[in-house]
């Protein structure tokens, strides 16, 4: 189940939501989009990028048209991925992107943590969740120690999706994704 926990700067819980409408409303207040899509396409075991993109082409194409995005790719992580620790560490520190970060979770789950002000918003996104983090938003992403997810990433310029680290150690103080 998707969940959103909002913390203060002392890591005290201010609110916790599991209702999709409450999550959407809380995230909208900080400029982050959240939608529930149907993650209902039958994919073969270990489906590759082309199969996943083909299965969700209509929804991805609609989003591209609405926001001017030009490309999409697929990231799939399994608990036995040989580079899982390195890939996890890459996005655990607070960073921003020049481009919006848009992800649709086809399978599994991941944790987006947003730091818009003195509060921290920790979203555990699950299959069926579309997350739209605006360009410049301070955040980090945790896939967990034993990652298991497949997500479509949609963007207007792959170069704009490169992480620009803030240097703030805030991410170290907040709970990580439990596996």
Tens digit of each residue's pLDDT (9 = 90 or more) over 31-90: 999 999 988 888 888 889 999 999 999 999 999 999 999 989 999 999 999 999 999 999
**Residue 177 falls inside a structural domain:** no
Q: Count Cβ atoms below 10 Å from residue 142 Cβ, excluding itself.
A: 23
**Residue 173 falls inside a structural domain:** no
How many distinct structural domains can be found in the chain? 1
**Residue 98 falls inside a structural domain:** yes
User: According to the 3-state scheme, what is the secondary structure of 79-145?
Assistant: CCCCCHHHHHHHCCCCEECCCCEEEEEEEEEEEEEECCCCCEEEEEEECCEEEEECCCCCEEEECCC
With beta carbons less than 8 A apart as the criterion, state whether 6 and 26 touch: yes
Going by DSSP bridges, is the β-strand pair 101-114/139-142 parallel, antiparallel, or unpaired? antiparallel
**Residue 95 falls inside a structural domain:** yes
Residues spanned by the domain of 56? 3-168
> For residue 133, what pLDDT is reported?
96
Tell me the CATH number at 136.
2.60.120.10
**Residue 179 falls inside a structural domain:** no
> For residue 160, what pLDDT is reported?
63
- For the entire predicted model, the pTM comes to 0.94
pLDDT at 161 over 80: no
């Amino acid at each position: 189940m998707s969940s959103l926990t909002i913390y203060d700067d002392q890591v005290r819980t201010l609110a916790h939501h599991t209702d999709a409408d409450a999550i959407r409303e809380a995230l909208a207040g900080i400029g982050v989009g959240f939608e529930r899509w149907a993650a209902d396409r039958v994919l073969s075991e270990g489906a590759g990028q082309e199969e996943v993109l083909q299965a969700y082409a209509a929804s991805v194409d609609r989003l591209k048209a609405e926001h001017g995005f030009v490309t999409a790719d697929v990231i799939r992580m399994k608990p036995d991925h040989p580079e899982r620790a390195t890939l996890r560490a890459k996005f655990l520190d607070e960073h921003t992107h020049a481009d919006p970060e848009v992800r649709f979770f086809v399978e599994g789950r991941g944790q987006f943590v947003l730091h818009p002000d003195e509060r921290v918003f920790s979203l555990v996104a699950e299959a069926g969740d579309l997350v739209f983090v605006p360009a410049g938003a301070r955040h980090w992403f945790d896939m967990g120690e034993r990652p298991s997810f497949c997500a479509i990433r949609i963007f207007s310029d792959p170069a704009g999706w490169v992480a620009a680290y803030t240097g703030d150690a805030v991410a170290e103080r907040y709970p990580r994704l439990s596996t």
